[in-house]
Structure formats: C-alpha cells, structure tokens
Amino acid sequence: MNNQIPVKDVTPVKVHKPKKSNQDQNYTPRSRIYVRAVEGTFETIRRFFGLIFLGIFAVIPWIPYNGAQAVLLDIGEQRFTIFSMTLWPQDLTLLAWLLIVSAYALFFVTTFAGRVWCGFMCPQTTWTFIYIWFEEKIEGARNKRMKLDQRPMDFDKFWRKTLKHTSWVVVALLTALTFVGYFTPIDQLFIDFFTFNVSFWAGFFVIFFTVCTYGNAGWMREVMCTHMCPYARFQSAMFDKDTFTVAYNPNRGEQRGPRPRKVPHEELADKGLGDCIDCNLCVQVCPTGIDIRNGLQYECINCGACVDACNGVMEKMNYPKGLISFTSEHELKGGKTDIVRPKLIGYAIVLLVMTALLAFEIMTRSSLEVDIIRDRNSLYRVTNQGLVENVYTLKILNKSQEARTYTISVTGLDSYEFFGDQVVQVAGGEVFSLPVSVATDTVNLDGRVTDIYFRVQTQDLDGNLIEVDEPTRFLYK
C-alpha cells in the first residue's frame, strides 16, 4: 500500500499590478484624466455607432404617426404608444420578455467580443466622448488642457472654461428635454419649458436629468464605469479564454523601451528590445486611465482607443501592427481561438428561443381586454317576474388606436334577459365602463353558483373577428 501523499503544485500566480509611470505618480481615484484624441479604425467605428444611436434617440420623439407622437410613454395615463401598438399595464409581460432578450443578447455579445457595448454603444461612453470633443475644441489638445488647469485664473482661462461648461449644460439640457419628451408630448414640452409654462413634474425631471447628464459626462466620467456600473463587476463571469477583448501582447512588446526610428525591426531582438517603445500613448488615450500593458483589468471598456494609438505608432516605426489588438487569451499564448464553443452556442440558443417567445407574445396579443366587476351591494335580487338577477360592471379596454364597435352577449345560460347596452362604441386607447344586469329563471341555473361568460366581439380594420369570453359567476341563494 502506497501511503505517499501526492504533491500539488502551489507555485504562486504572478499578478499584474499597475506600474506607476512618470505621468501618473500622483494619481488618485479622484484625479482628473486628460484623454488624448486619437484617430483610427476603432475610433471611426465608435463614432459611427455613437452618431447612429444618438440620432435615433433624438429623432424618435419627433416622429408623427396618425396625427400624434409615434412613441409616447404616458405614465400618467398608464398608456404606452409605440406607432400602431398601444401597451397598457396589463401588457407588462412584454416588458419582461424584452428585458430577458436584452440580457441574453448582452451575455452573448460579451462572451464573444468582450465589453463592446461599453466601448461603442453605452450612453455614458457616447456622452463622455461628446463632452471631451467640446473640451478639446475649446481648451485645446491634452497638453494644452493640462497647462490651462495649472495656470492661475485669467481672462483667457475664464472665457474658455465658461464656454466649455456652457456647451456642456446646453448638451445636457437638450438631452434631458429629449428624454422627458418620450413621456410627455415633446413639441409642447419644448414650448412650455422655454416659455416657463411647464408643469412641475415635467420641469423637475428636465432639471434633474440635466444635472445628471452634466455631472456624469462632464465630471464623473470614468468613475461611473469603474465604481458605479454593475456591468463592470460581473463581466468576468461571461469571459472565457476565447473571448475577444483588447489585450497587449507581452511576448512581442517586451522588453519595452525608447529607440530611434532608424533601428530596423529585425535588429530589435539583438538589442534586447521588444516592439513597445514605451511612449505611453495607450495610457493617454484611455478614457478610464488604465495601462493595458498591465493585463486584463475590469476598468477596460473595450473602446479600442489604445489599439488605434498603438497601431499609429507601429506604422510610424515601420513595425507590424497589432501589438495591442482585439484578441483572445488563447491567441496570446500562440493558440487558436475557438469561436464555436458550447458556452456561446448555449447563449445563442437561449437568445433565439426568448426572441421567438417575445415575437409570439406580440403577434398573439389581443387588442381587446375585458374585466368584470360584480355588484358588491347585493349578490342577487328577484325581479317582479320571479327571475333571478345579477348586476355587473363591464370594463372594455380598446387597446387599438381607432374607435371600435363592440357587441356583448352572454353564454352559459339557456335563456336570459339582458339589461343594458349590448352594442357600444369605444374610442381608441380608452376604457369603457358599462353597467349591465342579467336575469334568468331558476330552472336555467345549476345551483347556487353557475359559471357564465360575457362574450365581447368586434372587428379590426381588416374585417377579422376579435372575440373575448370573460368568465364570471351567476349567484343565487
């Protein structure tokens, strides 16, 4: 019998710790990050997506449809209009399905390409870069902005700072007005706000979101990504060794160090140098202020700014591009990325199933809903003709946007007398209350409780029959 205890390798894992450079020795979490402008492929893609989604956000509230605002989420009336579809609180399941689909889409994309949502489409990133653009146009490039902040206040600094913050406030105000315009008619909102006739709550939320936008994009910036956004914290649960993410290739870049351009790339190994010239441009262009050369960090938002900056340097040095690139851990170790893998396939299947269920829910959604409220004063009464009578209130909800005519009948009784309107017209998006009563002879009843149905019928614009049978009870004794 072998009593030898197996030996396990417990060699400590080398952890990447941030190395203080000459530029950030005095950096604290509250220090200002001066982001340097960069040009390149990923910057162009980021601007493209930013402009597309910013344009969609700004234009949608202004689109008219059937004489009204196409998208209006009226919380006060509990009615959410999206073009030809009107949603009510009863349609909350659609929102649940939409959130589930969005979550799995985020999981799928993150597993495949890392935090590209954060770097290319997140509103915080988009508005932050808009604010940085104003900052750069008014105060100058990175070095000029740093020198300007170190100078004592003079007229040049005063007017530049004033113009910059005024531009920020204008962008924040337009953003807030547009956002609130999704919940109240936007054309009237603009008129009322600038003529000081806006309602209290509309004005409050415009000011509130103006302050939030100004503070988030102008002052907090990377703090939102590194300390407040929960997505930065749980992203690691979706990453694997085949996830494409922004990474530095240390095998190619080390040892880093400055060198003249005339040194051929082929002679670098003989001089003990890698491709990294230690220019720190990758740090200067990073909106979260990290050094990508220290390895994967949760602060990285995968915006690709460091990729563009490094590729520009490599091009000037006549070195191959890709020292910093979107790559996977397997590729960095010399292997091959396995794109089709069980985890990614699982997310894709669930995403397709949830999307199909959402589409099914929308297609099978009825534009008619009926609720029945029994009379609470008495369970029943006996008429002069000896019939048993029950009183109800029908709530007919017309979920469409056009007026419709509804026909009401009762099933479950062999014969009955109906007291009340059996044909009513309900305007689009309205709830119609109809008090009715049903009377019948006791021989038609099953006992103390008889199950009956109120059948409400109508036709849509195409002539298709829409029918709802709402169950209730007919009581006696």
Q: CA-CA-CA-CA torsion for 230, 236, 242, 248, nearest 10 degrees?
A: 90
- CA distance linking residue 130 with residue 133, whole number of Å: 5
pLDDT at residue number 12? 45
158 falls within a domain: yes
- CA distance linking residue 120 with residue 246, whole number of Å: 13
Indicate the residue among 169, 188, 220 that finishes a domain.
220
- CA distance linking residue 147 with residue 43, whole number of Å: 26
In 364-466, alpha helices (H): none
- CA distance linking residue 435 with residue 201, whole number of Å: 36
169 falls within a domain: yes
Q: What is 143-172 written as a DSSP string?
A: HHHHHHHHSPP-HHHHHHHHHHHHHHHHHH
127 falls within a domain: yes
Containing structural domain, residue 469? 368-475
Closest by CA position to 226, among listed 13, 15, 37, 27: 27
388 falls within a domain: yes
In 10 A of CB 227, how many CB atoms?
12
pLDDT at residue number 5? 55
Count of domains observed in the chain: 2
260 falls within a domain: no
Indicate the residue among 175, 204, 220 that finishes a domain.
220
Compute the residue count for the chain: 477
Closest by CA position to 166, among listed 134, 144, 136, 142: 134
Quick check: helix, strand or coil at residue 231? helix
Which residues are CB-neighbours of 288 under 8 A, at least 6 positions away? 33, 222, 225, 226, 299, 300, 301
Computed over its alpha carbons, how large is the radius of gyration of the chain?
33
> Scanning the structure block, which residue is given the tokens 């190994």?
269
The enclosing H or E element of 395 equals strand 388-398
- Residues of the chain under the 70 pLDDT cut: 1-31
452 falls within a domain: yes
26 falls within a domain: no
Hey, what are 293's tokens?
């050369």
- CA distance linking residue 409 with residue 386, whole number of Å: 22
The answer to whether the CB of 450 falls within 8 A of the CB of 472 is: no
pLDDT at residue number 15? 39
Backbone torsions φ then ψ of 284, nearest 5 degrees: -70, -30
Which residues are CB-neighbours of 93 under 8 A, at least 6 positions away? 361
Indicate the residue among 196, 220, 244 that finishes a domain.
220
Query: Is this prediction's pTM over 0.75?
Result: yes
pLDDT at residue number 59? 96
The answer to whether the CB of 198 falls within 8 A of the CB of 189 is: yes
Backbone torsions φ then ψ of 409, nearest 5 degrees: -145, 175
The answer to whether the CB of 61 falls within 8 A of the CB of 178 is: yes
In 10 A of CB 457, how many CB atoms?
15
The answer to whether the CB of 324 falls within 8 A of the CB of 248 is: yes
Hey, what are 23's tokens?
């530029």
388-398 vs 368-374, strand pairing mode: antiparallel
287 falls within a domain: no
6-29 residue pLDDT tens: 554 544 444 344 455 444 444 444
pLDDT at residue number 473? 92
The answer to whether the CB of 449 falls within 8 A of the CB of 432 is: no
The answer to whether the CB of 74 falls within 8 A of the CB of 183 is: yes
CATH assignment at residue 451 = 2.60.40.10
Percent of the chain scored above 90 by pLDDT?
60
The answer to whether the CB of 250 falls within 8 A of the CB of 272 is: no
429-475 residue pLDDT tens: 888 999 999 999 988 888 889 999 999 999 888 888 999 999 999 99
